[in-house]
């Protein structure tokens, strides 16, 4: 019996493209280690970041990991589009068919789980406690553990690039292709465990944020006085708690099929492949709204501020959120209209798919009415928002088309579907994430991002997206399917694929300008201290604490009487006078959350390669670390009133 299970020297990459990607990753890791060592920042990194339980720093780490994974996901896009633009007729492009399918699968997993979800939890961590007047989330240690589980899933995902391979069964790994007979390697197992571990982190975060909203709102903040972003997080985390256990069970059943010979989804063994498809989309379609609802909350905050008007239709916006939460659970079958569910079932889910567009339409009209006769400030955030309105409406129309089963029979599994999905996710989620980061950036870091670079990036993103995905709508109507790595010359598709590649290049320029915006803004941060600007800029930005906030957020917990109370008190200067400081109980930094994440990553790696002894040891390690944490009586300390006052007086009230 091999003590390393299925692991051998043959697991190392052999083809040049994979080897190049692995080498770039290794070089980046070595450079990072060298830089931290050279600048003598290991102690700072450990004390300030790795062991932190501060929700703001955890939010920054979520976003940092998402940016790193976004770079890899974008590199995958470049390979995919280059392959499709060059693999025509006698030419077979730059990668093999098998490798193309791995890249295709990895791109979907990375962008959904490790970019969109990472940005989501990062922004919620940064903003939610400040919006509701809380010093932290309900469970700070669980929050840190959730992040390190997310990071563990990310490490496991990237490990497949260096050791072994990734799944070629698609980003949702449908059986029978994901069953052991057709995917005998470790790719599907990497997919299972990277999602399983990161998904547990997401579930824990959902519980944490939901409890935070219910239990830690400041005095006077009734539910109908909460900001719209908080409402959107409330709905989102309700979905997370209801949907992610479905994913956890589904992945576990698939792993049992592949490992011990159960036949939950194996048709030849009496299983049912359609049960897997139903389960995965019972999670998968709520997941779409888990991603997009927080972005809707961000849009609601930003449109009001930069239109210099109160948000139109607050109550209808809240009702729309909960209508979407409910309806998102009864539309999942539209993802497989073509699989023979029957006329009645298809008709019901087709109607539900059309109905769910109604509350979304309510939101769009409310945002437009908020802008109507407003004094609109056309900064980068508003340009991204207007791009969202245009693209999201376009994608929504395409979605309503595919809600008709007869049309879906023609367009299912085509590039039309790929274009629709990207239109909704990029404009509805990614643009929202960009806006949220720009909008709340000065709140967290204490200086503004220079807007001119953001405006250029916004225009390039909108133009690049239209150029990149407009041709895919046409190609889908012409019969081009997704996962297409080669096609005959007589189809005439190559010019459209080349245009799509040009669009990817334009998006790359947009991303470059976003990095330039960050770098230049940081270098000129001392020239950009006065960021009060228009008083409306602070209307919904949690101005009742400093920018950046101290690690305890509020020296005195606020009390509110209406939705704009923070802003109104700030305008009257009521937050800085006559403070009566009290002792504050603070959660200590601890490395145990990182240890749990590391042990979970080792557990997943052992499960992938069937190294059973290491799997048992890593599971024991997770249990031991949890027991150490639960029995540690010194997990918190008291920050005295005099110390709170001393820290609070040093804070720079820049906003």
Residue 108 confidence (pLDDT) above 60: yes
Distances (CA, A) of 646 to 56, 348, 429, 547: 21, 62, 41, 17
* Mean pLDDT of the chain, nearest integer: 90
Q: What pLDDT, on a 0 to 100 scale, did the predictor assign at position 435?
A: 95
Contact 250, 279 (CB under 8 A): yes
Percent of the chain with pLDDT over 90: 69
Q: What pLDDT, on a 0 to 100 scale, did the predictor assign at position 51?
A: 94
Rounded Cα gap, residues 577 and 106, in angstroms: 54
Residue 575 confidence (pLDDT) above 80: no
- Give the mean pLDDT of 83-106: 91
- Beta-bridged to residue 414, according to DSSP, are 481
The lowest-confidence range among 189-203, 328-342, 599-613 is 328-342
Task: Report which of 145, 102, 11 is spatially closest to residue 597, judged by C-alpha positions.
Answer: 145
Task: Report which of 178, 195, 186, 189 is spatially closest to residue 247, judged by C-alpha positions.
Answer: 195
Rounded Cα gap, residues 529 and 548, in angstroms: 12
- Give the mean pLDDT of 256-263: 93
Q: What does the pLDDT look like over 502-525, one tens digit per residue?
A: 999 999 999 999 999 999 999 887
| 443 — pLDDT class (breaks 50, 70, 90) | confident
How many other C-beta atoms are found inside a 10 Å radius of the C-beta of residue 179?
25
| 539 — pLDDT class (breaks 50, 70, 90) | very low
| 166 — pLDDT class (breaks 50, 70, 90) | very high
The residues, any chain, with a CB within 8 Å of residue 13's CB and separated by 6 or more, are 19, 22, 161, 162
Q: What pLDDT, on a 0 to 100 scale, did the predictor assign at position 568?
A: 67
How many other C-beta atoms are found inside a 10 Å radius of the C-beta of residue 9?
5
Tell how far CA 9 is from the center of its chain: 35
Task: Report which of 453, 465, 379, 455 is spatially closest to residue 425, judged by C-alpha positions.
Answer: 465
Whether the ω angle into residue 534 lies within 30 degrees of 0, i.e. cis, is: no
Residue 538 confidence (pLDDT) above 70: no
Residue 50 confidence (pLDDT) above 80: yes
The tokens for 400 are 């309503």
Measure the CA angle with vertex 163, ends 203 and 186; round to 5°: 65
Rounded Cα gap, residues 43 and 261, in angstroms: 48
Rounded Cα gap, residues 403 and 423, in angstroms: 16
- Give the mean pLDDT of 154-177: 92
Q: What pLDDT, on a 0 to 100 scale, did the predictor assign at position 248?
A: 96
Residue 558 confidence (pLDDT) above 90: no
Question: Could you write out the three-class secondary structure of 548-576?
Answer: CCCCCCCCCCCECCCCCHHHHHHHCCCCC
Contact 537, 305 (CB under 8 A): yes
Q: What does the pLDDT look like over 319-330, one tens digit per residue?
A: 999 999 999 999
The lowest-confidence range among 450-454, 466-470, 514-518, 629-633 is 629-633
Residue 30 confidence (pLDDT) above 50: yes
Q: What pLDDT, on a 0 to 100 scale, did the predictor assign at position 101?
A: 93
Q: What pLDDT, on a 0 to 100 scale, did the predictor assign at position 571?
A: 59
Residue with the larger pLDDT of the pair 28 and 578: 28
């Amino acid at each position: 019996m091999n003590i390393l299970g299925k692991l051998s020297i043959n697991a190392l990459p052999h083809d040049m493209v994979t080897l190049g990607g692995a080498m770039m990753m290794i070089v980046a890791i070595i450079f990072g280690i060298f830089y931290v060592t050279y600048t003598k920042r290991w102690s700072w990194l450990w004390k300030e970041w790795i062991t932190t339980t501060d929700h703001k720093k955890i939010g920054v780490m979520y976003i940092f990991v998402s940016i790193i994974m976004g770079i890899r996901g974008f590199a995958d896009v470049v390979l995919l589009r280059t392959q499709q633009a060059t693999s025509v007729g006698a030419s077979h492009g730059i990668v093999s068919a098998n490798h193309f399918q791995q890249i295709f699968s990895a791109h979907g997993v990375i962008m959904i789980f490790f970019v969109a979800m990472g940005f989501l939890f990062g922004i919620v961590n940064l903003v939610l406690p400040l919006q509701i007047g809380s010093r932290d989330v309900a469970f700070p240690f669980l929050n840190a553990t959730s992040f390190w589980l997310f990071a563990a899933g990310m490490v496991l995902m990237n490990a497949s690039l260096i050791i072994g391979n990734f799944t070629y069964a698609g980003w949702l790994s449908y059986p029978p292709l994901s069953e052991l007979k057709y995917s005998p390697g470790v790719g599907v197992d990497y997919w299972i465990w990277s999602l399983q571990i990161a998904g547990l982190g997401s579930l824990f975060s959902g519980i944490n944020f939901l409890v935070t909203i219910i239990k830690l709102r400041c005095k006077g903040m009734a539910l109908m006085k909460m900001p719209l972003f908080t409402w959107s997080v409330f709905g989102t985390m309700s979905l997370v708690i209801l949907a992610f256990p479905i994913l956890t069970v589904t992945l576990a059943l698939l792993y049992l099929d592949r490992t011990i010979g159960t036949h939950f989804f194996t048709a030849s063994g009496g299983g049912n492949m359609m049960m897997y498809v139903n389960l995965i989309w019972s999670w998968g379609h709520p997941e779409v709204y888990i991603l997009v609802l927080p972005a809707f909350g961000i849009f609601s905050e930003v449109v009001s501020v930069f239109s210099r008007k109160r948000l139109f239709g607050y109550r209808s916006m809240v009702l729309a959120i909960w209508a979407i939460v409910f309806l998102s659970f009864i539309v999942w079958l539209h993802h497989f209209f073509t699989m023979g569910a029957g006329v009645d079932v298809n008709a019901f889910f087709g109607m539900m798919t059309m109905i769910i567009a109604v509350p979304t339409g309510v939101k769009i009209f409310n945002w437009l009415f908020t802008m109507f006769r407003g004094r609109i400030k056309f900064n980068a955030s508003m340009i991204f928002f207007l791009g969202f309105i245009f693209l999201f409406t376009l994608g929504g129309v395409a979605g309503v088309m595919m809600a008709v089963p007869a049309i879906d029979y023609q367009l299912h599994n085509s590039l039309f579907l790929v274009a629709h999905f990207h239109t909704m996710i990029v404009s509805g989620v990614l643009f929202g994430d960009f806006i949220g980061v720009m909008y709340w950036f000065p709140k967290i870091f204490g200086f503004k991002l220079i807007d001119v670079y953001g405006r250029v990036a916004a225009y390039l993103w909108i133009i690049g997206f239209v150029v990149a995905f407009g041709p895919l709508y046409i190609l889908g109507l012409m019969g081009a399917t997704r996962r297409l790595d080669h096609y005959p010359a007589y189809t005439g598709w190559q010019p459209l694929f080349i245009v799509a590649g040009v669009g990817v290049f334009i998006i790359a320029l947009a991303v470059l300008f976003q990095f330039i915006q960050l770098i230049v803004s940081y270098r000129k941060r001392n020239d950009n201290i006065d960021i009060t600007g228009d008083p409306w800029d602070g209307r919904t930005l949690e101005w009742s604490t400093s920018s950046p906030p101290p690690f305890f957020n509020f020296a005195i917990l606020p009390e509110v009487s209406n939705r704009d109370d923070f802003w109104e008190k700030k305008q009257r200067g009521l937050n800085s006078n006559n403070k009566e400081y009290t002792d504050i109980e603070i959660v200590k930094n601890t490395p145990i959350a990182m240890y749990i994440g590391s042990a979970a990553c080792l557990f997943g790696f052992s499960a992938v390669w069937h190294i059973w002894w290491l799997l048992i040891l890593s599971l024991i390690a997770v249990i031991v670390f949890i027991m150490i944490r639960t029995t540690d009586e010194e997990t918190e300390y008291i920050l005295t009133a005099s110390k709170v006052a001393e820290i609070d007086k040093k804070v720079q009230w820049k906003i």
